[in-house]
Structure 1
Amino acid sequence: MKGAVHSYLEESIRPFIDLIDTLRSVGIQKDLALPTIAVIGDQSSGKSSVLEALSGVALPRGSAQNELAGKGVGICDELITLEVMSPDVCDLTLIDLPGIARVPVKGQPEDIGKQIKLLIMKFIEKQETINLVVVPCNTDIATTEALQMAQKVDPEGRRTLAILTKPDLIDKGTEKDILDIVHNKVIPLHKGYTMVKCRGQQQIDQKIPLEERPLTVSK
């Protein structure tokens, strides 16, 4: 049955995916919104790790990232495009947006928080975009700014999916509260919540491959 479903999806959806890829390759997304997944969340929420888990690709970090984006601490709305072609990866277009910041660090403009939010809104307000909101488990989801921004542009939660990260940081005694969130009882979303455990910073520093990462998923 799994093979039959896959074959059906491949035959019926593949032409549309190929068409979208062709349109994107000629830069039509500058004038016409194309289906995509925008990843939003606070700084250090685990966005990059979630993207790595989804794509199976180790994203540029540190000095490798500086080579692509420069060493400045500001932001710009110019996309850095990384195309991955492999029979083992999903057909997805993911946009990793800057982490939401509130206090500027040295060298950043005073209104960096406002700049980041405006950039995020530019992408997530498009009806063709699925908003992937990344929230650490030790954060009060009701006050999470990333989810509030997604709710503003998608009040019914039809194109918003939340990813709960860092379950190892859950405080003892709050496990039931987290389960209520995962079971869609706190802030309902049509696409629901998924909890993941990705590579930690120590594992990243130790260059542990993505294939060996501890990954747990709960819905």
Structure 2
Amino acid sequence: MLLDSEPNLPPLIKHFSEKFKQPLHLIKKLGYMDVIDTNYSLPKIIVVGDAGIGKTSLISTLVGLSLPQGLQIPLGLKFEIHSSPCTKLYLGYQYQYESVKEEVSEADLGSKVLAAAKLLPENKTSDVSISLTVMQPYVSDLTIVDLPGINPNLDKYRLKKEFEVLEGYIWAHARYEECAFLIAYRL
């Protein structure tokens, strides 16, 4: 259910609320009538670009959450719809072969994500990432992945290694799914 009465929605949520309310309602109605299959999903949005360009700041502004910058590992945000009027956040990551999932508050979000990032291995591999599940009544089935930035000032060998790591992250997050890439760069 998309809410119009909430005046302080983040820009991305407000956009979805305004633009997709009628089409989503129609799709839901047609699904109940067994006219169409409602197993659809929005494309995953993958954000890439140079380090320090403002990728995380852009995402934070769009979704209305204060996300930590400079993680050096992917941060995936998955929006799921639920009936409660308040937002619930769940932080997830792999630590020593165990999956960790904990509820966090918006106030503690930045510090909890940074603490989780410190627990993860320092060697960059495609299977290292942090996920944040955002449960709220506004938008469902939207995933945004904030990939670490590339430092363009590295020497040729280290820059090649950074691109190889980035390629691994892209394959890990884009494989078998429809994706839209948001590429941020300096003008």
TM-score when normalising by structure 1: 0.42
Using CA pairs under 8 Å that are at least 6 residues apart, name the structure with larger relative contact order, 1 or 2. 2
More helix by share: 1
More strand by share: 2
TM-score when normalising by structure 2: 0.48
